[in-house]
Structure 1
Amino acid sequence: MLHILKYLLLSISTFGCLGVRGSGTHHSHLTICNAIAQAVSTKSSVFYPGNQYTSDNYHWAVSSTINSSCTVEPGTAEDIGKILRILGVTRTPFGVRGAGHTSNVGFSATTGVQIAMTRLDEVIYDAKTSIAKIGAGNVWDDVYEGLQPFNVSVVGGRVSGIGAAGFTLGGGYSYKTNEYGLTIDTVTGFEVVLPIGEVVFADATQYSDLFFGLKGGFNNFGVMTAIYMKTHAETFVWGGSITTTGVDEAVMAAVLNFYSTVTDPKAAILPTFNYDSSIGIVSRSLGLFYHAPEPPQGMFDDFLALPALVQNVSTRSLLSLITAFPEPTGLRGAFHTLSLHTLSSAFLDAVVNETQFWSTQLSPSVPGLFISYDVEPFLSSYLSHGSPSAWPPSREIALLPINLYFAWALPENDTVIHEVMTQSVDYLTEVAIAEGQDIADAPLYPNYAISGVPLEDMYGQNVERLKHIKATYDPANVMGLTGGWKF
């Protein structure tokens, strides 16, 4: 605790020189912005309303975008340390934005000081160790592109525009999860700025409790600035999507057959059951993936035989695969989730029914409505690739996440969408329990969970340990000034 006290005293002294006094006094956010601008190096910049400010505050879901008092783009971890010390002593609310893909309001946005990690965009590959250093400002598109010349890749996001930082700190389901585990299972270390301003490296041997907490525990302990990840050899992959409609029985049969018979860890599918009011149809989009230039003969034949509205399956780079599926922007949005032990025809029937029911109920009164229920069938062995982590709280049962994604146009529909998504998850949970799945207390995937979910519903038995780690590294609760799941 002595070194924490030293930093706090130093911070108070520094802020006195900047004309910012005392930790118990309310300060204008703009005063704090000006103090930050004076304190950081020339590698960092502070922005006020204007073009760059707008970009720094941008979130993929319109409903998650908040106008801050100013934005700051730190260019070094050391500057983040200076920023955190100013924010902590003045008790100024702030947000930390990687790519802005969270849908929960206030999780990475603020009316105070918005920290945009944009400049921390390095992608460095060490051929001797096969480790990649990935800056926290990257999206996976840029990570894959940066590693492509070395014929290596990592376990990351499945669609375009997903930030590496939040995705990883929340766990990270990938097309390669069957083969390598969650994204956090491939992380060898994190560079993180503690709330006292100190930059440390956390791995399995140094700051091991912090390393444990960062693997699934988000930004509770400091600001993560770089991820060190294992890489694997990769040139081309095989995959793409097939969009179809009107053949639900054939789609469900193909999904269940794949889930029950395919044990090759290089293979993965991502079935989604969708409704899009802009074209007025219910459709099924089937993401197909094989971690090699060609899959074994016959493995995906059931899917390839489906009548397709759109099909773009081919041998390609991983970058080509994910950029073929940019997520829609310009709408409000929310995610929610439940966790299964297994997939069944009864459960898939219920998913289809939910898609159709809510599209009928909501479309007349909810402009811009888009509904997607995403089913993620993984092998039962996928959690064996990693070690204990903040999430999941147990690795004894490999859960299957179900992701609900709703998008809409107008803020007056926010409340009803939140209620509908909660109701739909409760209903689907009851369906699974009724068929014998013991999932009433199955931990929810925090990257998908809607705001308001209790910590215990995601982190279970790990909550108390994570609270202790939080108190150790952030006794002044500086990270409580920003949004997200908080211990």
Structure 2
Amino acid sequence: MLLLTPKRLASLLLTASTAVVNADTCDEVEALGTIEVSRPLNPTYITEQAQYWSTSCSALKPTCILFPRSASQVSQILTHLSTTNEPFAIKSGGHNPNNYFSSVSGGPLISTQHLSHAYLDPTTGILDAGPGNRLDGIAAKLQGTGWTFVGGRIGNTGVGGLVLGGGLSYMSAQYGWAASNVLAYELVFANGTIANVTATSHADLFKALRGGLNNFGIVTNYRLQARRQGDVWGGNLVFPLRSDDTDKKLLAAVRDFTEYNTDDKAAVIVTAERANLNLVDSWILFLFYDGGTPPEGTFKNFTDIGPLLDTCRTRTYADLMASSNWAVVKASVVDIATETIPLPSRANKAKVMDALHAHWRNVSSTALGLDVPGIVASIAWQPFPRRIAQQAKRLGPDLIDADDEVDRIIIEMNYSFLPQSQYERMADTVQATYEGVRKSVLGWQADGTLPQAYLPLFANYGFYRQDYFGRLRPENRALARRVAQEVDPNGLFRTRTGGWRP
């Protein structure tokens, strides 16, 4: 795994070619007079820096923030960057909490905020959308058209990072990943060249962009196939006081839903939340149905457990997206990690599900006992039925390349806390959480408790210490590496901005 850590970044800059001009991109772009450049202490700089989900990213200070409004302006920025040795970053919504993935210190930040167009053909449903859109914003723009974007589940999420990481949607069992619905990418390469990337014009690059993250250029437009949609039904079920009995019932319910639900319009996320001093120890479920009313019994396994609060109702998709932003923890450092597990059999569901949840409770209990203020720990159990893989394959190749031989569950593990000084210490807690899950899964696969299966990591939830590309199929990792070297032979994106590298 090649990860551009701050230490590695510093080393690369120190050994950069002496032929590189000692220039400053902020000054050069500002001299053009056509691209907005915001410096520290400027209100637009301060506002943009505050838009990250994690305060650890906000604390990294770019030398300036550049706000291009077109692919040609992005091209100009990259042309200037190629003459310097500065680190840089590209930011869509700032929802990736890993430091340096969409944040930077000591170099320019390219914000896609003004690339927030959304042009819909109301007849075909073809949508041209910029990476500066957020899910709630694009849902509001499409409200009333009868079409929707197959995006994520939290409204504040940026479109750019979501789609490049794959993008899990409430509608994935119908339409695959968010990336599965991309028809073309307008991409600015490291040398400033602009291309329209499709499955026919650049077959390997098109595949690599579906799950390949920020390794190939800057996407300035996604041409998407929107999907027909009217009212939806959704909201939350809240179990404010968890118990061992509630834990077992909800874990069994999400496992059974993953295997037995046959209605592709229905989706759930089952989350447990804990906080310091036991102020919170609860379950919050997200329920969704792509229609005004779900058929009777669709979510019976969950509702029969007896939530204290049920906010589910018929509403617009835009309203659902706008109402989801309460889930974003404000003014905290945020860490997110993930694991993918094969669905346990009905006979082994209690053994597997209960043990993995107990592991999370044990590690999170240790974390809650640390002298780290403001800790909130959560785990989300998210069905990954084989139908998602079937739909993704139907809509074209991607790097994730999941097969439809088994059902799976994607586990998301979050910790948020207040002091930025505890970033590395809490990173160890995050690592202990996901490594414990992985170790258990491998042990159960060895003894036959769980089936053998390809288990890729879901990039949008990945932690910087995890090996995203190492968990892909070797041939797909090799394709991504080859394509990255072809389109960026000088390694602008590989060596000067953060993220996972193939």
Q: Does 1:378 align with 2:384?
A: yes
Alpha-carbon distance in 2 for matches of 1:386, 1:304:
30
Alpha-carbon distance in 2 for matches of 1:121, 1:417:
35
- Contact 1:446 / 1:458 at 8 angstroms: preserved in 2? no
1:302 CA displacement: 2.9
Alpha-carbon distance in 1 for matches of 2:471, 2:336:
15
Comparing 372-381 and 409-418, the one that deviates more:
409-418
1:292 CA displacement: 0.6
User: 1:255-275 deviations in whole A, cap 9, x for unaligned?
Assistant: 233233211111111001211
Correspondence for 1:47 among 33, 38, 53? 38
Letter in 1 for 2:341: L
In structure 2, the CA distance between the partners of 1:76 and 1:468, relative to structure 1 (3 Å rule), is same
- Contact 1:23 / 1:90 at 8 angstroms: preserved in 2? no
Letter in 2 for 1:447: N
Correspondence for 1:158 among 149, 153, 156? 153
Q: Does 1:72 align with 2:85?
A: no
TM-score between both structures, scaled by the size of structure 2: 0.87
Correspondence for 2:399 among 391, 398, 416? 391
1:87 CA displacement: 0.3
Letter in 2 for 1:304: T
1:75-154 to structure 2, matched below 5 A, reads 75-111=69-105, 112-154=107-149
1:474 CA displacement: 0.8
Alpha-carbon distance in 2 for matches of 1:414, 1:249:
32
- Contact 1:57 / 1:114 at 8 angstroms: preserved in 2? no
Aligned residue in 1 for 2:21:
25
In structure 2, the CA distance between the partners of 1:120 and 1:345, relative to structure 1 (3 Å rule), is same
1:238 CA displacement: 0.8
1:139-288 to structure 2, matched below 5 A, reads 139-244=134-239, 245-246=242-243, 247-277=246-276, 280-288=279-287
SS for the counterpart of 1:91 is coil
Aligned residue in 2 for 1:465:
479
User: 1:277-301 deviations in whole A, cap 9, x for unaligned?
Assistant: 3761211111111111011111112
Aligned residue in 1 for 2:423:
414
Aligned residue in 2 for 1:474:
488
SS for the counterpart of 1:416 is helix
Alpha-carbon distance in 2 for matches of 1:250, 1:468:
47
Aligned residue in 1 for 2:354:
349
In structure 2, the CA distance between the partners of 1:319 and 1:278, relative to structure 1 (3 Å rule), is farther
- Contact 1:375 / 1:403 at 8 angstroms: preserved in 2? yes
Alpha-carbon distance in 2 for matches of 1:40, 1:139:
28
- Contact 2:387 / 2:404 at 8 angstroms: preserved in 1? no
- Contact 1:171 / 1:216 at 8 angstroms: preserved in 2? yes
Alpha-carbon distance in 2 for matches of 1:100, 1:45:
19
Q: Does 1:330 align with 2:324?
A: no
Alpha-carbon distance in 1 for matches of 2:251, 2:465:
32
Comparing 371-380 and 396-405, the one that deviates more:
396-405
- Contact 1:339 / 1:439 at 8 angstroms: preserved in 2? no
Letter in 2 for 1:374: A
- Contact 2:389 / 2:402 at 8 angstroms: preserved in 1? no
Q: How many residues align?
A: 462
Comparing 157-166 and 455-464, the one that deviates more:
455-464
Q: Tell me, which stretches of 5 or more residues in structure 1 are unaligned?
A: 1-21
Aligned residue in 2 for 1:7:
none
User: 1:410-441 deviations in whole A, cap 9, x for unaligned?
Assistant: 12322232112212212222333343335696
Alpha-carbon distance in 1 for matches of 2:404, 2:299:
29
- Contact 1:136 / 1:225 at 8 angstroms: preserved in 2? yes
In structure 2, the CA distance between the partners of 1:253 and 1:393, relative to structure 1 (3 Å rule), is closer
SS for the counterpart of 1:386 is helix
Aligned residue in 2 for 1:60:
53
Aligned residue in 2 for 1:442:
455
User: 1:54-83 deviations in whole A, cap 9, x for unaligned?
Assistant: 222331111122111001100111000000
Correspondence for 1:35 among 2, 8, 28? 28
Comparing 168-177 and 315-324, the one that deviates more:
315-324
SS for the counterpart of 1:229 is strand
- Contact 1:96 / 1:115 at 8 angstroms: preserved in 2? yes
SS for the counterpart of 1:121 is coil
1:273-312 to structure 2, matched below 5 A, reads 273-277=272-276, 280-312=279-311
SS for the counterpart of 1:325 is helix
Alpha-carbon distance in 2 for matches of 1:123, 1:243:
35
Alpha-carbon distance in 2 for matches of 1:438, 1:420:
28
Comparing 113-122 and 147-156, the one that deviates more:
147-156
SS for the counterpart of 1:376 is strand
Aligned residue in 1 for 2:9:
none
- Contact 2:385 / 2:408 at 8 angstroms: preserved in 1? no
Q: Does 1:361 align with 2:370?
A: no
1:23 CA displacement: 4.9
- Contact 1:40 / 1:82 at 8 angstroms: preserved in 2? no
Letter in 1 for 2:464: S
Comparing 439-448 and 145-154, the one that deviates more:
439-448
Alpha-carbon distance in 1 for matches of 2:255, 2:485:
45
SS for the counterpart of 2:422 is helix
- Contact 2:171 / 2:265 at 8 angstroms: preserved in 1? yes
Aligned residue in 2 for 1:14:
none
Aligned residue in 1 for 2:12:
none
1:455 CA displacement: 4.7
- Contact 1:184 / 1:215 at 8 angstroms: preserved in 2? yes
SS for the counterpart of 1:69 is coil
SS for the counterpart of 1:476 is coil
Aligned residue in 2 for 1:452:
465
Alpha-carbon distance in 2 for matches of 1:453, 1:250:
31
- Contact 1:25 / 1:90 at 8 angstroms: preserved in 2? yes
Alpha-carbon distance in 2 for matches of 1:389, 1:450:
25
Comparing 119-128 and 277-286, the one that deviates more:
277-286
Q: Tell me, which stretches of 5 or more residues in structure 2 are unaligned?
A: 1-17
User: 1:292-337 deviations in whole A, cap 9, x for unaligned?
Assistant: 1011111112322333343211111112222222112210011111
In structure 2, the CA distance between the partners of 1:393 and 1:379, relative to structure 1 (3 Å rule), is closer
Alpha-carbon distance in 2 for matches of 1:243, 1:446:
28
Letter in 1 for 2:27: N
1:345 CA displacement: 2.4
1:253 CA displacement: 3.4
Comparing 409-418 and 45-54, the one that deviates more:
409-418
1:126 CA displacement: 0.8
In structure 2, the CA distance between the partners of 1:330 and 1:440, relative to structure 1 (3 Å rule), is farther
The percentage of aligned residue pairs carrying the same residue is 25
Comparing 426-435 and 130-139, the one that deviates more:
426-435
Alpha-carbon distance in 1 for matches of 2:251, 2:131:
38
Alpha-carbon distance in 2 for matches of 1:117, 1:479:
17
